[in-house]
Amino acid sequence: MKLILAILSNEDSSTASRALTEKKFQVTKLNTTGGFLRAGNTTLMIGCEDEDVQEAIELIKESSRKRSELIPSSAGYDMGRYMSFPIEVQVGGATIFVLDVEQFLKI
């Protein structure tokens, strides 16, 4: 038995949580802040059999792929008018720890 701790952005953690639950993984969300990924992040806690660790990691990877998103945040003054320029930000990514579980009980 292993315990997977995965730190993801809030947005990606919902996607990952859904994908994992669909494949019958049992997921617990820990409310976390700061740290690995600056803004709002979530730590997913997944207990699973040793042979299922790789599948869980794949599902987390797919849910948190690094990608660019355009956000409308930069603004400038040009030719007498204010203009807004979308800027590209990197989102996604995950930090994953796999721990060994000595004893596991479901009661």
Measured CA to CA in angstroms, residue 70 lies from 8, 10, 18 at distances of: 20, 18, 25
Contact residue for a second copy among 10, 11, 53, 55 (CB under 8 A): 53
Our finding on whether 1 is near Ni ion (CB under 5 A) is: yes
The residue (of 75 and 99) whose beta carbon lies closer to a second copy is: 99
Site stretch for Ni ion (CB under 5 A), options 11-19, 22-30, 36-44, 49-57: 49-57
Three-class SS of residue 79?
coil
Radius of gyration of the chain (CA): 18
Neighbours of 20 (CB within 10 A): 22
Residues that bind a second copy (CB under 8 A): 1-3, 5, 7, 17, 26-36, 41, 43, 45, 47, 53, 57, 60-61, 64, 66, 93-107
